[in-house]
Every structure is written in structure tokens, then in C-alpha cells.
Structure 1
Amino acid sequence: MNTPIPLSTASLPLVLFHAPVYAGFPSPAADYAQRHINLNEHLLTNESASFLFHVRGDSMNGIGIYDGDTLIVDRSITPKHNHIALAIIDEEFTVKRLYKRGQVIKLLAENPAYPPIELRDGQELRIWGVVTFNLHRLLNV
């Protein structure tokens, strides 16, 4: 995980189709184009507090966050128990599930090969932001 990538505020219009896409039996295709959309409106809760991060590693594979994916992280969301958080531990970024119950705070991987991260004396944990979306490329072109 490296430094945040600021999001562009430029509009990128895409066509939104009104027809649902079935993951079971195919549906006949028709001309269902309705309007152009701006992805920022759909992906960002707070545009000025949203950043992109590239994922490195496999600790979150269990929930579909893979090496090479791009995360949208919102700094304006208050982190809560069970959120997927972008955290800084000892000045290094990591993405993990936040466990916060009473005075117990730890970071949980979504891969059983990685143990929970519990802070030791002298370690500092900062929650940099909350992950709102994972952009996962399905085809390398």
C-alpha cells in the first residue's frame, strides 16, 4: 500500500442501461439505454474526502479485495466496528477489518493465513479512512 491518489473531479459520462443484468439465465438484449451517468456520483459519498489506494498483498482475499485492486477510501466517514478500514500502524498503511468492542481494538485480516493485529505497547494506530468501494479489474487489456 502506498500513498493516496487524489481523485479527479472531471466528469466521465457513461451510459446507464435500465435493464437488469441476470447472472443466471440470459435475458434478450434490447435498447435499454436511459441516460449518461457520472461515476463520481455513484462511487463517492464525499468527493473532497475520497482517495484511491492500490492494494498490495493477499490479506483481504476472503472478502474479494485482491492484490492489484484499487480501493476508494473516504476520510469523512467515522470508522466503526466491522468497517473495512485503511489504517496506519507505525507509519505503514494497511487495509483490514476494524474490530472495536469496548476497550479492545484490533485489525482483522480476511485471510486465515494472517493473525489479527493487536497493538503492542508503544505502537500507534491511526484509522486514515474507511473503504467504500473496491475496483477490481476482471480483464487485463
Structure 2
Amino acid sequence: MHLTVLGRVDTIAPPVGIPLVGGFVRAGFPSPADDYIEADLDLVAHLIQHPSATFYLRAKGTSMIDDGIHDGDLLIVDRSLTARRGHVVIMCVDGDLTCKRLSKIGDRYYLTTTNPNFKPIPLSGHDCHAWGVVTHNIHVLAPGFSV
């Protein structure tokens, strides 16, 4: 999976509140909706814990598709977090940024995916350093929209 760095979080932009409807929406059978607005929700404040260390990246490729990351998705990456086993991380491998899951197989660390078409990448034997941890993935569902 290749990545394009889109930029940093704007830490001086005024908050933008989007109405948050109270209650939950069922993903199964329809139910009566709660017909009121609970509050305004600032997505930056909700999704980003460390604005000065957070970047947006665009995913390219299919290696993480079975992890829910599709070609063209917008990734929110926090560089202040420590990469741990099981995290989806942005790793610089031999000078190239890639998005994979940090895994341990036996006593060695690898970058893995759940897409069977891609083999694990051992961290030993490569020039590697963690660039950040993917905290959120924004995936477009409506045709004709982009993020």
C-alpha cells in the first residue's frame, strides 16, 4: 500500500460543529428514530487527540482492504503514539511509507495484512522506523463523493 501525505491538522481553524443526532442508528431492521439533535460535534476535536502531531494520509493499494482500508481512503495518523503490536501503523521501510499491521510472529516483528495476496514483511533486514499510528480511517460510501 502506497501513501500520499496530504498535510497536518489545522490547529488554528475555528471548530466546525455538525449536528449530532441523539440515540443510535440500527444497521439491521429499521426502528423509530430519535427525532432530536443532541449537540453539535466538532469532528476534529472528536477524532484527533494530538493535533500538532496528527497528519492526513491518502491510502493507495489493496494490501489493507481486508482490514477495512480501501484504495483512496483518508487515514488519520498520530505520530505521537507509540506503535504497539496489533496497531495499524505507518512505517517507513527502506525509505518508503507503507501502511500495515505491526505483528509479532515467533520472536520477530513483521508488518502484516489480512489480505492473503501479501506476504509478511520482516522488520529485521530492512531500514525501518515507525512513522505513526493510524487512529481512524475515513471511507467513502456514497458514489460520487470523495474525501
TM-score (norm 1): 0.91
Question: Among the aligned pairs, what percent are the same residue?
Answer: 40
- Please point out which of 29, 33, 48 is paired with 2:33: 29
The reply to whether residue 46 of structure 1 matches residue 44 of structure 2 is no
- Please point out which of 108, 131, 134 is paired with 2:134: 131
The reply to whether residue 12 of structure 1 matches residue 16 of structure 2 is yes
Task: Give CA-to-partner distance per residue, 1:3-49, whole Å, 9 cap, x none.
Answer: 35112232221001112101111122342202111111210121111
How many Å apart are 1:99 and its aligned residue?
1.3
Contact 2:90/2:100 (8 A) holds in 1 = yes
**How many Å separate the matches in 1 of 2:104 and 2:71?**
26
Equivalent position SS for 1:53: strand
- Please point out which of 74, 82, 86 is paired with 1:82: 86
Runs of 4 or more off by more than 3 Å in structure 1? 100-103
Number of residue pairs matched? 140
Contact 1:96/1:110 (8 A) holds in 2 = no
Contact 2:21/2:38 (8 A) holds in 1 = yes
Query: Unaligned 5+ residue runs, structure 2?
Result: none
**How many Å separate the matches in 1 of 2:102 and 2:53?**
20
**How many Å separate the matches in 2 of 1:95 and 1:25?**
35
- Please point out which of 96, 100, 105 is paired with 1:96: 100
Equivalent position SS for 1:2: strand
**How many Å separate the matches in 2 of 1:19 and 1:3?**
35
Contact 1:80/1:100 (8 A) holds in 2 = no
Task: Give CA-to-partner distance per residue, 1:65-110, whole Å, 9 cap, x none.
Answer: 0000010000111111111000001111100000146851110022
**How many Å separate the matches in 1 of 2:100 and 2:33?**
40
Equivalent position SS for 2:80: coil
**How many Å separate the matches in 1 of 2:105 and 2:81?**
18
Contact 2:100/2:111 (8 A) holds in 1 = yes
**How many Å separate the matches in 2 of 1:109 and 1:25?**
33
Query: Unaligned 5+ residue runs, structure 1?
Result: none
Contact 1:87/1:95 (8 A) holds in 2 = yes
Cα-Cα RMSD: 1.7
